Amino acid sequence: MMENKAVYFISDLHLHLEDREKELQKEKLLEKLFEQITVDGSDLYIIGDLFDYWFEYEKVVQKDSYRVLYLFYKLATSGVKIHYIIGNHDFYHYDLFEKEFNAKLYEDNVTTYINGKKFFLSHGDGMIPNDTGYKILKYFLRNKIIQKIASYIHPDFLLKLAIASSKASRKYTNQKNYGEIDGLLLLAENKIINENYDFVIMGHSHSFEYKQIQKGVYVNLGSWINQPLYAKFHNNSIETIILK
């Protein structure tokens, strides 16, 4: 990665969630962002839940994703490196992003160094101590045997199940009472204060946060359902920018 290039972060776009007009608006904003990344960016990190539901077959791609996938094709062929941290709405990735876009997929949290700065990157699902119910669900959703069995179900039927599961997961997240203490913020504070991370970037909660913690910074990217934004790391500082 060239030091004069920026690194970008997005999370919780939840594409395919809303009606066609709103989805087209989100896709236009995504295209605008990707055009900017091709100008001054080296890497894009997706911190989970790019789509509101995603189940990938070996030979089948859901038709409402073709415009977005073409944007990723253009971004990848421009030389930008794509990193994808799996979120709780990313039910199953086969090899499309890796083979077609040369993306790197991560099924767990990521520690990485960018220009000498230590980053902790996590979607944030299952990271809150009292979220036992979701941790159990996550175990089954990420189980390779269950995913393989599910891949033999007809796409039309399975995608209906994925949509239903996505709605249930989002409702659970929105209604879950995590208590007065922000568990993700506590996690970020621990990473920065006790484990010497410079930056912690997460999503999942759909609640935007930018907080200076001693010499580090915690960013929760919120959700494009509420406000489309991204984070940009350049010259050893990070900023969040709303897309318009």
User: pLDDT band at residue 180, thresholds of 50, 70 and 90?
Assistant: very low
Q: Where are the alpha helices (DSSP H) in the chain?
A: 20-40, 66-77, 96-101, 132-141, 144-150, 155-175, 183-194
Strand partners, 202: 122, 220
Q: How many domains does the chain have?
A: 1
Instruction: Give me the phi and psi of 237, to 5 degrees please.
Output: -135, 160
**pLDDT over 70 at 20, yes or no:** yes
Residue length, the chain? 244
pTM: 0.83
- Tens-place pLDDT, residues 109-163: 999 999 999 999 999 987 766 565 555 555 556 666 655 666 666 665 656 666 6
Helix/strand/coil for 10 = strand
**pLDDT over 70 at 93, yes or no:** yes
For residue 99, tell me if it sits in a domain: yes
Parallel, antiparallel or unpaired: strands 41-46 and 6-10: parallel
Look at residue 89 in the predicted model and tell me its pLDDT: 76
For residue 1, tell me if it sits in a domain: no
**pLDDT over 50 at 49, yes or no:** yes
Higher pLDDT, 138 or 197: 197
For residue 167, tell me if it sits in a domain: yes
CATH of the domain at 188: 3.60.21.10
For residue 72, tell me if it sits in a domain: yes
Give the range of the structural domain holding residue 107, as residue numbers without chain letter.
Answer: 6-242
Residues 6+ apart with CB under 8 A from 201: 9, 11, 45, 47, 119, 120, 121, 122, 218, 219, 220, 221, 231
For residue 38, tell me if it sits in a domain: yes
For residue 116, tell me if it sits in a domain: yes
For residue 10, tell me if it sits in a domain: yes
For residue 58, tell me if it sits in a domain: yes
Cα angle, residue 109 at apex, residues 231 and 128 outer, rounded to 5°: 90
- Whole-number percent of the chain with pLDDT over 70: 76
Helix/strand/coil for 29 = helix
Higher pLDDT, 143 or 66: 66
- Give the dihedral of Cα atoms 190, 115, 96, 20; nearest 10 deg: 70
Higher pLDDT, 149 or 195: 195
